[in-house]
């Protein structure tokens, strides 16, 4: 069973990469909605300002004569609507209370800007009040009419989002009624939980891509391997909507969303599926190339010290298990005697990792004098920049483990093999060798995979520098 887990047939990409770069499904419809609302709001603000000047008490001022103040009025209003979430889908654009608050805030900000920019100029109170009241009236009316027209078009089958339902058979009828009640979705198909099983998963996602599904409504209880499945939807550019369940559960990337009056969770798809991962790979390639050139004098110095300290090669290459269980040779500066792997069998009884999956020994007699120094400052890991350059590793990711360790994995542990291994990771900056239980390390790896982002990688890299200089947990 283990040998099958370690073998790889063909090439599979990193869990986060997606199958080719794909634009978020349904993006065009969403963009058209937002652009239409922005145009309506801008026209409403312009009309309100013009009428307020015409009917208000006339005062010659830059406020009423310069076009720049009119443009400022529109820009401030649109910006506040945007930051207030009034261009989001669903009930957000119909939240008239929030609209009135946003319009009022924009008017106050305009007064403040006008005072700071041109304190000697004035605007009549009647013009200001008329502009405020007319803006509220026009924008709310425009939003109401927009909804009326949109609902009419949707009743005729236009501007709808194509969706697919995956839910248990006994709940399908109820869930279909809940989705169709919203009058903004076209249900292209329904499947039960078996469609997400391992044997059916690839066919299901290929079928969803073929249908052009924008969103998938999934019952949380249908997803057995939630971390894996959620990343598949995410990298396919499909927004996943988690249907209501009696049990309160969530995913780290999920946000609250209303399905009518029912609160649900959703995991929104990125605008460009897989783009973040390819930014990560480009960063890895550029950084490893630059660091290899910058550290070349250090590489030479360490090589000389290793040769002077003990017999044997400068570099140590070992089989490690990488992406999807594929073996590769990891590069390190040699820190042990040349027959270290043969001697390990006699030291297994002294293993300090409680569950025995990994092998760690604080005062390992196999380590050379220069090896102790290199390990203390993690300098022995520097040659792994070659592995990063060759695409076998990343700067940040779960550490690749020896064959001996992976052969002791349980089924749940293999999720960490679905992403590219790294030189450093959340495990390393959270204690490095001080973690005594393999399960604790796996939890950190899963936390990394669940919450991964480019910003998270950068934070781990900066934390790694601090951990190395403090020599925390290194031996």
Domains and CATH numbers, the chain: 30-155 (no CATH), 160-273 (3.40.50), 275-470 (no CATH)
At residue 136, the pLDDT reads 94
Phi first, then psi: what are they for 361, rounded to 5°?
-140, 115
CA 271 – CA 25 distance, rounded (Å):
8
Report, as ranges of residue numbers, the positions in the chain whose pLDDT lies below 70: 1-12, 18-22, 61-66, 118-122, 222-226, 244-264, 270-273, 340-343, 345-363, 431-436, 471-475
At residue 432, the pLDDT reads 52
At residue 120, the pLDDT reads 66
At residue 262, the pLDDT reads 62
CA 254 – CA 445 distance, rounded (Å):
19
At residue 403, the pLDDT reads 84
Q: Are 393 and 422 in contact (CB under 8 A)?
A: yes
CB atoms closer than 10 angstroms to residue 156: 9
At residue 210, the pLDDT reads 84
Tokens of residue 127, six digits? 């013009």
Instruction: Tell which residue, 319, 280, 325, has the closest CA to residue 416.
Output: 325
At residue 335, the pLDDT reads 85
Positive/negative CA dihedral, 96, 98, 104, 106: negative
Helix boundaries (H) for 212-252: 226-235
Around 409, how many Cα atoms within 13 Å sit in the side-chain half-sphere?
A: 25
Percentage of residues in the chain having pLDDT higher than 90: 23
Instruction: Tell which residue, 39, 15, 54, has the closest CA to residue 87.
Output: 39
Q: Are strands 215-219 and 394-396 parallel, antiparallel or unpaired?
A: unpaired
Tokens of residue 30, six digits? 């969403």
| Tokens 């002791």 belong to residue | 408
Around 188, how many Cα atoms within 13 Å sit in the side-chain half-sphere?
A: 16
CA 177 – CA 212 distance, rounded (Å):
22
Instruction: Tell which residue, 271, 228, 277, has the closest CA to residue 17.
Output: 277
* pLDDT single digits (tens) 236-271: 888 888 876 554 455 566 666 666 666 667 777 766
Tokens of residue 76, six digits? 């401030």
* pLDDT single digits (tens) 419-457: 899 999 888 887 655 566 777 778 888 888 888 889 999
Residue 339 DSSP code: T
Instruction: Tell which residue, 189, 102, 181, has the closest CA to residue 139.
Output: 102
Burial class (CB in 10 A: 0-12, 13-18, 19+), 389: middle
Q: Are 204 and 178 in contact (CB under 8 A)?
A: no
Helix, strand, coil % in the chain, rounded to nearest 5: 55, 15, 30
Residues 6+ apart with CB under 8 A from 111: 128
Instruction: Tell which residue, 21, 125, 142, has the closest CA to residue 63.
Output: 125
């Amino acid at each position: 069973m283990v040998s099958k887990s370690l073998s790889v047939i063909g090439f599979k990409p990193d869990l986060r990469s997606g199958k080719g770069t794909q634009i978020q499904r349904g993006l065009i419809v969403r963009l058209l909605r937002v652009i239409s609302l922005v145009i309506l709001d801008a026209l409403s603000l312009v009309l309100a300002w013009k009428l307020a000047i015409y009917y208000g008490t006339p005062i010659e001022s830059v406020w009423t004569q310069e076009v720049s103040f009119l443009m400022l009025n529109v820009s401030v209003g649109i910006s506040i609507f945007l930051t207030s979430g009034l261009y989001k889908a669903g009930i957000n654009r119909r939240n008239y209370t929030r609209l009135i608050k946003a319009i009022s805030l924009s008017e106050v900000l305009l007064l403040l800007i006008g005072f700071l920019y041109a304190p000697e100029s004035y605007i009549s109170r009647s013009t200001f009040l008329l502009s405020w009241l007319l803006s509220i009236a026009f924008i709310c009316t425009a939003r109401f009419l927009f909804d009326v027209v949109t609902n009419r078009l949707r009743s005729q089958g236009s501007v709808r989002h194509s969706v697919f339902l995956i839910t248990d058979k006994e709940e399908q009828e109820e869930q279909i009624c809940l989705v169709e009640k919203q009058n903004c979705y076209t249900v292209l198909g329904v499947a039960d939980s078996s469609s997400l099983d391992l044997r059916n998963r690839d066919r299901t996602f290929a079928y969803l891509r073929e249908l052009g599904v924008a969103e998938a409504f999934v019952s949380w209880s249908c997803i057995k391997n939630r971390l894996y499945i959620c990343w598949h939807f995410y990298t396919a550019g499909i927004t996943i909507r988690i249907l209501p369940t009696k049990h309160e559960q969530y995913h780290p990337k999920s946000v609250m969303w209303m399905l009518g009056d029912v609160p649900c969770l959703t995991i929104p798809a990125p605008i460009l599926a897989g783009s973040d991962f390819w930014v990560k790979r480009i960063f890895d390639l550029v950084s490893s190339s630059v660091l290899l050139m910058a550290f070349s004098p250090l590489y030479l110095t360490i090589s000389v010290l290793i040769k002077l300290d003990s017999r044997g090669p400068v570099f140590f290459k070992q089989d490690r298990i990488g992406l999807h269980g594929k073996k590769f040779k990891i590069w390190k500066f040699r820190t042990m005697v040349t027959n270290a792997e043969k001697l390990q069998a006699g030291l297994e009884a002294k293993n300090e990792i409680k569950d025995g999956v990994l092998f760690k020994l604080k005062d390992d007699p196999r380590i050379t004098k220069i090896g102790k120094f290199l390990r203390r400052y993690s300098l022995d890991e520097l040659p792994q920049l070659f592995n990063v350059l060759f695409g076998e590793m990343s700067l940040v990711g779960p550490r690749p483990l020896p064959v001996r360790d992976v052969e002791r994995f349980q089924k749940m542990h293999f999720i960490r093999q679905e992403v590219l291994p790294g030189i450093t990771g959340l495990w390393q900056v959270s204690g490095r060798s001080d973690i005594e239980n393999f399960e604790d390390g796996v939890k950190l790896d899963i936390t990394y995979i669940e919450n991964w982002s480019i910003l998270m990688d950068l934070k781990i890299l900066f934390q790694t520098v601090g951990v190395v200089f403090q020599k925390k947990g290194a031996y």
